């Protein structure tokens, strides 16, 4: 996996940056990014294997939509709460070892969660939450290493490659989670693949990747400041705040669609055909493939548009992010509306919506790294994770499930489908068509949130240039102060020698 990513990176980037001060990058920089990309793939695979087999997990533990959504909501809640701690550590201690320990422990928790019995739902959730604690160590720190290795357009390209792992890794998670079911195995086997990959990655983190000084790529002479000063700085950065709130909307959309999407489309198929033997597994596989393809196309396209439009629009990343989200909203509305009528049309609308949403993954982080000084980037990334997930996919899976369950007594009054036989096997009857309409209405919430996120991203464009100049000025002033101190030291040494 790392070798394939390395070849892709080397072929896309070339050897130098396009900035006025040309910088040459060595093989180890590219190898480091390839390993971090592979880690991000595994991260999101691990996160969404459960989504790929959600209906079977619900059947195994005997839980409804609210509890099904609670699995992901509690995972993201814990992940979100601990992110600031990893940000604090990441700005001050060895990033490579923090990430290596984190991936060892999250892989162990993921493996353990696959051995839970039908009465162990609480322990299953506890282990998924433990996985979230240590996943946060990687996602908080990894982007800061990339920002310390590359500058200018080279950094934009690296972020595009790194963040394509979000949709592609999520898609692989669906596939890994659903494939054992399609092959006749139990759903638990879907959770036992990524831990082995994670342990291999941990060794690469500990012994191979670079951990450069903070801000070295930009010639930073900045010193680490107190945590209180870091938070005060971020609270006054308008672009950072608006992009973080926009990222919350993106996370809300991604969390809801990723968690409930395969089951919803499968329910639509059951409503159309009346075939109660429909399995969510094949829809998870298709959902995963669509997520991967849209990620492979959308993420690099967004990064490319950001670079091409930069000469004309200084805040091109904000503009593309906002436009992409606003354009995605009507197509996802069509996905929800058409699900009971035409599954083929649903897949087409979903592909278009996903392409527009995937434009933003690298751009939002590029905005953040452009307006925040190097010594505060891990902290900024941590609080971006905290806020965006707390207001986004931390609540959306559970909220959609809760609203769906609340609407069932209202919207199922006129439903003509016979209820499922409770004695049926989970593998043949894990979908109840009576759940379709309530879940459909609940998912409309995501359309509204996506529109709000797009508006916030567009609004951030008004402040981007000012905040970027502030960050650049801080770097320049630190460099001048450092040179002055060096000059004074040389002068003092000459006096002593004379």
Which SS3 state, helix, strand or coil, does residue 24 take? strand
Residue 493's pLDDT band (boundaries 50, 70, 90)? very low
Residue 445's pLDDT band (boundaries 50, 70, 90)? very high
Contact criterion met (CB below 8 Å) for 179 and 315: no
Q: Give burial (CB, 10 Å; 0-12/13-18/19+) of 102.
A: buried
Which SS3 state, helix, strand or coil, does residue 18 take? coil
Domains of the chain: 25-210+227-409+428-497 (1.20.1250.20)
At residue 429, the pLDDT reads 42
The residue among 223 and 437 whose pLDDT is bigger is: 437
In 63-200, the DSSP E strands lie at none
> How many of the other CB atoms lie within 10 Å of CB of 340?
18
Contact criterion met (CB below 8 Å) for 243 and 318: yes
C-alpha span between 242 and 384 (Å, rounded): 10
Burial 207-239 (b: 16+ CB within 10 A, else e): eebbbeebbebbebbbeeeeeeebeebbeebbb
Q: Does the structure show a pLDDT above 80 at 8?
A: no
The residue among 366 and 420 whose pLDDT is bigger is: 366
At residue 322, the pLDDT reads 94
Number of helical (H) and strand (E) elements in the chain, helices listed first:
18, 0
| Lowest-pLDDT range of 125-129, 174-178, 209-213, 451-455 | 209-213
The mean per-residue pLDDT over the stretch 205-229 comes to 67
At residue 331, the pLDDT reads 96
Q: What is the pLDDT of residues 400-413, one digit of tens each?
A: 888 888 888 777 65
> How many of the other CB atoms lie within 10 Å of CB of 112?
17
């Amino acid at each position: 996996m790392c070798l394939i990513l390395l070849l892709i990176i080397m072929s896309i980037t070339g050897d130098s940056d396009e900035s006025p001060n040309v910088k040459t990058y060595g093989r180890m920089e590219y190898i480091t990014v390839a390993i971090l990309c592979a880690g991000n793939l595994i991260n999101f695979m691990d996160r969404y294997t459960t989504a790929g087999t959600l209906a079977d997990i619900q059947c195994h533990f005997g839980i409804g939509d609210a509890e099904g959504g609670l699995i992901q909501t509690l995972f993201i809640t814990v992940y979100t709460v601990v992110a600031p701690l990893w940000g604090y550590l990441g700005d001050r201690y060895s990033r490579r070892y923090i990430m290596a320990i984190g991936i060892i422990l999250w892989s162990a928790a993921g493996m353990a969660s696959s051995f839970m019995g039908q009465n162990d739902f609480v322990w299953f959730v506890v282990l998924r939450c433990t996985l979230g604690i240590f996943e946060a160590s990687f996602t908080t720190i990894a982007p800061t290493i990339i920002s310390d290795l590359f500058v200018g357009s080279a950094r934009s390209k690296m972020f595009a490659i790194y963040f394509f792992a979000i949709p592609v890794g999520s898609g692989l998670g669906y596939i890994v989670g659903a494939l054992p079911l399609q092959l006749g195995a139990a759903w638990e086997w879907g959770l036992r693949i990524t831990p082995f990959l994670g342990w291999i990655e941990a060794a690469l983190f500990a012994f191979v990747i670079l951990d450069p000084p903070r801000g070295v790529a930009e010639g930073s002479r900045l010193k680490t400041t107190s945590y209180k000063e870091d938070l005060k700085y971020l609270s006054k950065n308008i672009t950072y705040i608006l992009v973080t709130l926009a990222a919350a909307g993106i996370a809300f959309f991604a969390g809801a669609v990723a968690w409930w999407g395969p089951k919803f489309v499968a329910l639509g198929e059951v409503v159309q055909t009346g075939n109660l033997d429909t399995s969510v597994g094949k829809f998870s596989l298709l959902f995963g493939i669509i997520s991967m393809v849209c990620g492979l196309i959308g993420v690099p396209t967004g990064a490319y548009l950001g670079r091409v439009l930069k000469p004309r629009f200084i805040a091109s990343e904000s503009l593309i992010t906002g436009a992409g989200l606003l354009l995605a909203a009507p197509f996802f509305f069509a996905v929800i509306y058409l699900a009971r009528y035409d599954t083929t049309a649903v897949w087409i609308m979903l592909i278009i919506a996903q392409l527009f949403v995937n434009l933003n993954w690298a751009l939002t982080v590029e905005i953040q790294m452009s307006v925040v000084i190097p010594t505060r980037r891990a902290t900024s990334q941590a609080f971006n994770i905290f806020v965006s997930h707390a207001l986004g996919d931390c609540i959306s899976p559970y909220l959609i499930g809760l609203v769906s369950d609340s609407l069932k007594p209202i919207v199922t009054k006129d439903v003509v489908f016979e209820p499922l036989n409770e004695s049926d096997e989970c593998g043949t009857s894990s979908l109840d068509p009576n759940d379709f309409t309530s879940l459909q209405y609940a998912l409309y919430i995501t359309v509204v949130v996506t529109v709000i996120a797009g508006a916030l991203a567009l609004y951030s464009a008004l402040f981007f240039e000012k905040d970027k100049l502030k960050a650049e000025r801080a770097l320049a002033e630190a460099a001048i102060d450092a040179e002055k101190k060096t000059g004074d030291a040389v002068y003092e040494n000459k006096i002593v020698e004379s």
